[in-house]
Amino acid sequence: MAPLKSIAFASPNPGARLIVLGAVHGNEVCGTHAIRRVVDAIDRGEFELVAGRVTFVPVTNPLAYANQRRNGDRNLNRRLAPSSAPREFEDHIANWLCPLLAQHEVLLDLHSFQAPGSAFVMLGPTDNNGPIEPFSHAAQEEALALRLGVGRALDGWLSCYAAGAARREGVTEATSAAQGIGTTEYMRSVGGWALTLECGQHDDPGAPEVAYRAILNTLAHLHLVDRGEPAEATAMEGLRLCEVIDKQHAGDTFARAWKSFDPVHAGELIGTRHDGMPVAAPFDGRIVFPKADGEAGQEWFYLATPSPRLAR
């Protein structure tokens, strides 16, 4: 198994501290390819770092990557925190990764997804002092999100996840939120800001190009390289996750092969429980992250509604 590895470039001039992650999930390799391409370009002198610091982690989870699967022992993007008694491989990664994240100000985390679909960016919350994810850098996240080269932005992840987990386990949302903490949530918890870019379907040959363009645009927007300010998206759809529905039984089935961001209308049949009970959309919106092969007792699908953030 490959060791944990990061590649850092630093300028003598002050500037932002950026970290870029690939393969947090081992079967999501578009970020890995894009990071290696950027590192090679810097090494060849195609462009130089004129300010600040950037750290690249091409393969964040080498166990999952070596086995060409999503997880090693568990999902690295849940319950991410340092551990005084590491047991699973992801605990050891966390003990290395969390301090590394804390040394930076900005995180770009590059992912892909299973079903066909268009690339999108996941934002953190709006500025708030609440118990789930207090935050004060929403404007910085929004400005970068507009320059990554995608046309859809999604927010509301942690609060929606926490509500579902709290309902499932009978605890408070503040307690359940800790289970939903991944790389971006951890970065925000230590004072930074972060975006997750879902670059396309796992095997889409265009996904590494989406990731590569996003890295270059991020470097330029943060003034780490001298490439000019990237243009803002002229059209952007804003969506907010607002409800999660769990799969209750292995026999729960979808009414059709849903894809993320398919529209649903109030009363439309989404699926059927194993006992024949229909599951209908409670309102007009979009279905997000449908998991036809998901486990009973876990998320089955999310629902999203329009958000005014970034919409244009």
Q: What's the average model confidence in pLDDT over 282-292? A: 94
- The first and second tokens of residue 93, run together, are 């990664």
Residue range 14-33, pLDDT digits in tens = 999 999 999 999 999 999 99
pLDDT at residue 185 is higher than 80 = yes
- Tell me how far apart the alpha carbons of residues 202 and 194 are, in angstroms, rounded to a whole number: 22
Give per-residue pLDDT as tens, 229-262.
999 999 999 999 999 999 999 999 999 999 999 9
Banded pLDDT at 120 (limits 50, 70, 90) = very high
Q: Are strands 262-264 and 285-288 parallel, antiparallel or unpaired?
A: antiparallel
Predicted structure pTM score: 0.96
Better-scored residue on pLDDT, 116 or 128? 128
- Averaged pLDDT of the chain: 95
* pLDDT tier at 192, thresholds 50, 70, 90: very high
pLDDT at 1: 62
Pick the closest to residue 64 from 34, 21, 25, 112 (CA basis): 25
The burial of 304, by beta-carbon neighbours within 10 Å (0-12 exposed, 13-18 middle, 19 or more buried), is given as: buried
Look at residue 172 in the predicted model and tell me its pLDDT: 86
Confidence tier at 116 by pLDDT (50, 70, 90): confident
What does the pLDDT read at residue 168?
84
CA pair distance 125, 193, nearest whole angstrom: 10
Rounded mean pLDDT, 166-192: 92
Strands laid side by side in the 253-254 sheet: 253-254, 269-272, 278-280
Helix/strand/coil for 186: helix
What pLDDT does 165 receive? 87
Backbone angles phi, psi at 208, to 5 degrees: -60, -30
